[in-house]
Amino acid sequence: MVSLRGVHKSFGDVEVLRGLDLDVRMGEVIALLGRSGSGKSTALRCINGLEKIQRGTITVCGHEVARMGRDLRPLRKDVGIVFQSYNLFPHLTVEQNVTISPKLVKGVDAKTASLLAADTLARVGLLDKRDAYPEQLSGGQQQRVAIARALAMEPKVMLFDEVTSALDPELTGEVLRAMERLARDGMTMIVVTHEVAFARKVADRVVFMYRGQIRETGPASLLDTPQTDELKQFLEHDL
């Protein structure tokens, strides 16, 4: 579903990704761990075409990202991304926030869009909030609406970039539970997270990044038996 080969990305003189190689299979949940500045979020933004790479190749759902130029619409139909900030439209209801992209991008009619909203909101446990406005929701609920909005485009791959970092522990739990449900449903997911417990429970594979490279990777059990000093120190700091 996702393949990165020899990916290099720099901002000015700062090299953020240094020859990154990564493959993600259909239905696989990947947890990207690492300290701030290790390149995790940049990798996600490159996968979704939000950042251009200097060298290497990225292929997502059959799309070679670098060759798509400015027309990234086919890629965006296959890849959903959720950020730390919710970015909901405050003047639109929850249902309207969820259906606006399918209507505008895919030309979905109003009735189909409403059914799609009901399905995606049910998947994140918010069907009863479809007529509410963002200001009436908690931060955790708003983040779950953002997830539902991404799901409404019926993506093949979901990218999550530190989606709980601005939430308190209780709200973090409700968002992570929604993500767990997606994983159980077979969604292909790449999750940048600092939630080690979530990675242990949900991830099929953990990828630990250090200074723009993959330093260690394997099943979630590697978090119990880290092989590198860098991962050991990261986990000790987390504890």
For 165-177, the pLDDT digits (tens) are 878 888 888 899 9
H helix or E strand, kind and range, residue 102: helix 94-106
Query: pTM of the prediction?
Result: 0.92
By CB atoms closer than 10 A (0-12, 13-18, 19+), residue 107 is exposed
Q: Is residue 183's pLDDT more than 80?
A: yes
* Spatial separation of the C-alpha atoms in residues 47 and 75, rounded to whole Å: 9
Task: Extract the runs of DSSP E, i.e. beta strands, from the chain.
Answer: 2-11, 14-24, 29-33, 55-60, 63-64, 79-82, 157-161, 188-192, 205-210, 213-218
Domains of the chain, residue spans: 2-89+156-238
pLDDT value for 97: 96
Question: Which tokens hold the place of 29?
Answer: 């949940």
- Cα dist from 107 to 96, 102, 154, whole Å: 15, 6, 13
For 122-149, the pLDDT digits (tens) are 999 999 999 999 999 999 999 999 999 9
For 19-40, the pLDDT digits (tens) are 999 999 999 999 999 999 999 9
* Pair 84, 163: CB distance under 8 Å: yes
* Pair 36, 238: CB distance under 8 Å: no
Q: Which CATH architecture has domain 2-89+156-238?
A: 3-Layer(aba) Sandwich (3.40)
52-56, 100-104, 158-162, 202-206: range with lowest mean pLDDT: 100-104
For 91-128, the pLDDT digits (tens) are 999 999 999 989 988 889 999 999 999 999 999 999 99
